[in-house]
Amino acid sequence: MRLLAVRGRNLASLHGPFAVELDQPPLADAGLFAITGPTGAGKSTVLDALSLALFDRIPRLPEGRGVVLGRQGLAEHLVPTSTDVRAILHRGSGDGHAEADFVGIDGIAYRARWEVRRARQRADGRLQDQEMSLATLDGSRRFGDTKTAVLREITSRIGLTFGQFRRSVLLAQGDFASFLRANAGDRAALLEQITGTWLYGEISRHAHGRARDAQARLAELAAALAAVPVRDAEARAALDAAHAAATATAAEARTQLAGLEAEARWHAEDARRTAALTAAEHRLAAATAARDAAAPRRQALGDHQAARALAPLLTAAAAATAAAAEAAAAHTRATAAVTEAEATHL
């Protein structure tokens, strides 16, 4: 992350608003600068404001929050203990806040804000729960709808937990004093804790443990290998000869198997064709029997077809007979008429 600005109002000894603009001149052009002043001037409060805005915690109160109830007159008040971050609110103030502008590990500029107020913003009002927010620096987007969610969003964007931030970015006065007073061994351990290099020690110990386990496993395998008997040259030659003979026998068996499989396929094909021939003979016999049974019908059909050939002659004969009968009838009628005429004349 890259810090752009730290702001606040009514925190500890800093009454009213204050701001440290790191992205503006003259600090923007300074490679190195110091925050100096007498005791109680508010030097650590600036760093506390940064820590509050990002983590709702400060190095001077690492354990978080604890409160007790007390009475003043007839009104009940929430009295902060030494581990309540709200105790940083300037005495006599009704509200206060801390604000940090920074560029996250994703390259986007954000503004994190922490604020606390008393009831009705009165100096003697009950302390309310602190609130936190995170938004892009241009205010176009906000992240997290609860303090827990906001803290999670901030941690993901700066890439550090509070402990890592405290050791790598902030160095609390108590930790620095302990470092100066410690002996060489303790200073190394404390420096490791402050800088977070303890992780490399853990990695080294883990790697050493894995190497030790691997060496032990290698020794076990070597012992197991040593327990395997090794045959002499004559025994190995005998085994090689037996292996060659077995290989030749297997090859011969495979050749015989191939021949037997071909013969089996031939017999299977022969059986299939024999069955097909038998079925065809059965069908031929059935067809022959059916043909013989149909012989009388075939004869009748032939006679019928022959008779149909004479049908035109029969039709013509019938027509001639009818015509002759009609002619005879006409002759009879004519004869009768002649007879009747002769009788009339006489």
pLDDT digits (tens, 9 = 90+) for 213-266: 999 999 999 898 888 877 788 888 888 899 999 999 999 999 999 999 999 999
Q: Which two tokens stand for residue 321?
A: 């007979």
**Beta-bridge mates of residue 3:** 102
- d(CA 48, CA 53) in angstroms, rounded, equals 9
Confidence at 191, pLDDT banded by 50, 70, 90: low
**Cα dihedral sign for 155, 158, 160, 162?**
negative
Torsion of the alpha carbons at 215, 218, 224 and 226, rounded to the nearest 10: -90
Q: Average pLDDT of 24-47?
A: 86
| pLDDT of 24 strictly over 70 | yes
Residue 325: per-residue pLDDT: 87
The dihedral sign for the CA sequence 283, 284, 290, 294: positive
Given a cut of 80, whether residue 73 has pLDDT beyond it is no
**In the predicted model, is pLDDT for residue 82 greater than 60?**
no
> Poorest-confidence range of 195-204, 227-236, 323-332?
195-204
Pick from 173, 178, 170: nearest CA to 196: 170
Give residues with Cβ within 8 angstroms of 35, minimum separation 6: 43, 46, 47
Structure tokens at 41: 């001037």
In 159-293, DSSP assigns E strands to: none
Question: Hey, which residues does 131 pair with through a beta bridge?
Answer: 115
Write the pLDDT tens digit of every residue in 269-307.
999 999 999 999 999 999 999 888 888 888 888 888 887
Judged by DSSP in three states, 208 sits in helix
pLDDT at site 282: 93
In angstroms, what is the C-alpha Rg of the chain? 60
Computed over every residue of the chain, the mean pLDDT equals 84
Round to whole Å and give the CA distance between 226 and 214: 18
When pLDDT is cut at 50, 70 and 90, the band that residue 69 belongs to is very low
In whole angstroms, what is the distance from residue 176 CA to residue 133 CA?
31
Position 66 scores a pLDDT of 39
Cα separation, 197 vs 182, in Å, equals 18
pTM, 2 dp: 0.51
Mean pLDDT, to the nearest integer, of 7-25? 93
pLDDT in tens, 100-124: 999 999 999 999 999 999 999 898 8
